[in-house]
Chains A and B, each alone.
Chain A
Amino acid sequence: MGKISGSKMLLKCLREEGVEYIFGYPGGKVIPIYDSIYDEKKIKHILVRHEQCAAHAADGYARATGKTGVCMATSGPGGTNLITGIANAYMDSIPIVAITGQVSTIEIGTDSFQEADITGITSPITKHNYLVKNVKDLPATVKEAFYIASTGRPGPVLIDIPIDVQNALIDENIKAEINLPGYKPTIKGHLKQIKEAAVKIYNSSKPVIFAGGGVVSSGGNEELTEFARLSEIPVITSLLGKGSFPESDELSLMMAGMHGTKFANLALTEANLIIGIGVRFDDRVTGKLSEFAKHADIIHIDVDPAEIGKNVKVKIPIVGDAKNVLADLIKEYKTIRDEKGDASRQEWLKLVHKWKKDYPVSYFNNSHSLKPGYIIEKLHEIVKENAIICTEVGQNQMWAAQFFKCSKPRTFISSGGLGTMGFGFPSSIGAQFGCPDKMVFDIAGDGSIQMVSHEFATAVVNKLPIKIILLNNGNLGMVKQWQELFYKKRYSETIVRGCVDFVKLVEAYGGVGIRVKKKEEVEKAIKDAISIDNLVLIDFHIDPDENVFPMVAPGAPIKEMMVLGKEKK
């Protein structure tokens, strides 16, 4: 039997897991792996310009495709640069496997050059991590890592491989077996609980569904849509739940929370039953917790039992994967409905539709200034549901969430839990690799994009025709908005006007830049960008005073929303 090196074995294991891309950056303690990558035929390595973006790209790839993303970095600073990306994936439950090099096993603990305790550092932000001290453990470790990352509540797993383990020889045909006695995620919901929930839902006069990222990651969007239409219950989503239910549907109340729609927040407040599916009742959605859903019983469906009862009191807990539980719930609900007829909740639906009409998401559509809402509505009009939208974090993200109506899962990619500026563009790189036939857009702000503009090189080198919709207001807008509203307009370090020519910047990397200052130019610019087979950045000079409304003030109940004021002339 032939023997191969640990690094060759690593690639063999990754091939067996179906890995297509590794987003990474070489360094001293991964040279053996990169030497093996030199001969690799099947897996493509994508060289990023900063390790953090390798993790974000793997994350974007995973969100767009549903497969596990892979990133790689060297020991020490390579690993520590991955951390923001790993934490981001952890907060949003995204399956990625991060592979880091490590100093040799005999040097571990001696503070040797480029040594960092990356398993120690990433323990709180990974679902699990491994330090592989013996090459014979490597195949099983890789297998387990992919299994853990992608099952149950998904999340990032890190594998730290010392350089001597990469070089050590191992029997090529060694059998890898998963041995995880403590890991058995519950996928099927408890039928008794589901039956109880179906009865409760049927009898409820004012129910709402609150759907989150768990519906998207379980692939349960069709079941959700079927269930909502069957039971005629309005659907609210979290930011990560966007795409789990078509936002063009009559029953959709779009996103709830701090910058959600007023009608979603009102529905959550007035409902007497909330069916939470794959959500974690995060503080951005609940607002003041003691005032949240005071009149409602809560049914909580989640694959992670630790989420149930963590933030809100739950009447009927159901542990299970959203897709499976919804399929069972549909069956149970149908049985009841077939026996008793449609549930009567017309009054509630009428009220919800009235709210929807009374409080639309809007902006002042005038001729003298360029509004972000207008740009995103135009973008939606042009690309419809045939694009993947990635966002940065801040005002740009909230405008994207408010004005881009999503109808398919895995088409709205945004950093939810961690709120990572600089996530959008590298994630769009991962998404474009994962979905080469789709148009990929990054809705960005001028603050966020400057954190990752070096990745323009990665996009251009790899001929990725990503389009950046830059909502340039010369502000670190979301913080500036808070300063305006809650800190007496003391704009500390948030006005960053006029220092970068973004058109020239993207051109320096070999991409195409278009500048837009007038409303009339918006449509043409977007259409032109789409027709160009290259990285395009459209630098939209938007109204610098435009803020994100509606808004729930921090610590306030979600029904109390600050809305769009009078238009300034």
Chain B
Amino acid sequence: MNHIISVMVENKSGVLAKVAALFSRRGFNIESLAVGTTDDDKVSRITIVVNSDESSIEQITKQLHKLINVIKIQKLQPDYSVQRELVLIKINTENKSRAEILEISNIFRANVVDVTKGTIMLELTGNSSKISAFEELLKPYGIIEFVRTGMIACSRGKKS
């Protein structure tokens, strides 16, 4: 099962390497990873999606807590949090398919961010399943490049 862990860390060099190394050393696989600063410039947030069973996720969380630069860890429940990924997709439009592609992207509320004679680039945000569905629909037209960020997530309501 996929678990979302949001890890607040000190914004110092080498911290991401320590977090990532911990996953490999303890034998856990990272499905996706996203890192960014927060409103406090001394703190970064690392959002990690990891596929594991319940007891392993507990062990991962405990081991993460042991890293000195880790300030706080939140396990986000899928139903009580908002998850988003961003994707940039470059598609071939040589075979006069641009209109159809635009129609699909309208349904998904994707943005056109670049157009050339033979290509179009779309930008879409959404949760994993929306992005995967979008990808499936566009595949037949010929995806040239598909660039997807790791998931970021935020808990719903007042809790932080």
A contact set with B: CB distance below 8 Å? 119-120, 123-124, 127-128, 131, 148, 180-183, 304-306, 309-310
Question: CA A309 – CA B56 in complex, angstroms?
Answer: 10
Say yes or no: A182 contacts B55, CB within 8 Å.
Answer: no
Given A182-B10, A309-B58, residue A124 in contact with residue B71 (CB < 8 A): no
Which of B25, B62, B72 is A124 in contact with, Cβ under 8 Å? B25
> Which parts of B51-101 form the interface with A (CB within 8 Å)?
55, 58-59, 62-63, 65-72
What residue in chain B is nearest A152 (Cβ atoms)? B66
- B66 / chain A contacts, CB cutoff of 8 Å: 127, 304, 306
Q: Check B130 for interface membership: any CB of A closer than 8 A.
A: no
**B21, B55, B68 interface centre (most CB from chain A within 10 Å):** B68
Shortest beta-carbon distance from A307 to chain B in Å? 9
Say yes or no: A123 contacts B18, CB within 8 Å.
Answer: yes
Which of A120, A182, A183 is B17 in contact with, Cβ under 8 Å? A120
- A310 / chain B contacts, CB cutoff of 8 Å: 59
What residue in chain B is nearest A133 (Cβ atoms)? B13
Given A124-B25, A309-B58, residue A182 in contact with residue B69 (CB < 8 A): yes
Say yes or no: B58 contacts A182, CB within 8 Å.
Answer: no
Q: Check B153 for interface membership: any CB of A closer than 8 A.
A: no
Say yes or no: B68 contacts A180, CB within 8 Å.
Answer: yes
- A309 / chain B contacts, CB cutoff of 8 Å: 55, 58-59
Question: CA A120 – CA B59 in complex, angstroms?
Answer: 23
Say yes or no: B62 contacts A306, CB within 8 Å.
Answer: yes
Say yes or no: A305 contacts B18, CB within 8 Å.
Answer: no
Say yes or no: B18 contacts A182, CB within 8 Å.
Answer: no
Say yes or no: B59 contacts A124, CB within 8 Å.
Answer: no
Q: List 6 A-B contacts (CB under 8 A).
A: A128-B68, A131-B14, A182-B69, A182-B72, A183-B68, A309-B58
Q: Check B9 for interface membership: any CB of A closer than 8 A.
A: yes
- Give the B interface residue count (CB, 8 A): 21
- A183 / chain B contacts, CB cutoff of 8 Å: 68
**A128, A148, A181, A304 interface centre (most CB from chain B within 10 Å):** A181
**Additional A-B contact list (6), CB under 8 Å, known A120-B14, A309-B59:** A120-B17, A123-B18, A124-B21, A180-B68, A181-B10, A309-B58
- A127 / chain B contacts, CB cutoff of 8 Å: 66, 68
Shortest beta-carbon distance from A126 to chain B in Å? 10
Say yes or no: B68 contacts A148, CB within 8 Å.
Answer: yes
- A128 / chain B contacts, CB cutoff of 8 Å: 67-68
Binary CB contact string for chain B from 2 to 39 against chain A (1 if under 8 A, 0 otherwise): 00000001100110011001000100000000000000
Say yes or no: A305 contacts B62, CB within 8 Å.
Answer: yes
Question: CA A5 – CA B78 in complex, angstroms?
Answer: 54
Given A305-B62, A310-B59, residue A182 in contact with residue B21 (CB < 8 A): no
Question: CA A441 – CA B86 in complex, angstroms?
Answer: 64
Which of A123, A148, A181, A305 is B65 in contact with, Cβ under 8 Å? A305
Say yes or no: A306 contacts B63, CB within 8 Å.
Answer: yes
- B21 / chain A contacts, CB cutoff of 8 Å: 123-124
Say yes or no: B70 contacts A182, CB within 8 Å.
Answer: yes
Question: CA A132 – CA B142 in complex, angstroms?
Answer: 50
What residue in chain A is nearest B60 (Cβ atoms)? A306
Shortest beta-carbon distance from A91 to chain B in Å? 13
What residue in chain B is nearest A185 (Cβ atoms)? B66
Question: CA A328 – CA B72 in complex, angstroms?
Answer: 29
Say yes or no: A306 contacts B59, CB within 8 Å.
Answer: yes
**A183, A304, A306 interface centre (most CB from chain B within 10 Å):** A306
Question: CA A454 – CA B86 in complex, angstroms?
Answer: 60
Say yes or no: A306 contacts B65, CB within 8 Å.
Answer: yes
Which of A131, A182, A304, A306 is B68 in contact with, Cβ under 8 Å? A182
Shortest beta-carbon distance from B9 to chain A in Å? 7
What residue in chain B is nearest A155 (Cβ atoms)? B66
Shortest beta-carbon distance from A196 to chain B in Å? 20
- B14 / chain A contacts, CB cutoff of 8 Å: 119-120, 131
- A180 / chain B contacts, CB cutoff of 8 Å: 68
Shortest beta-carbon distance from B32 to chain A in Å? 22
Shortest beta-carbon distance from A133 to chain B in Å? 8
Question: CA A310 – CA B59 in complex, angstroms?
Answer: 7
- B59 / chain A contacts, CB cutoff of 8 Å: 306, 309-310
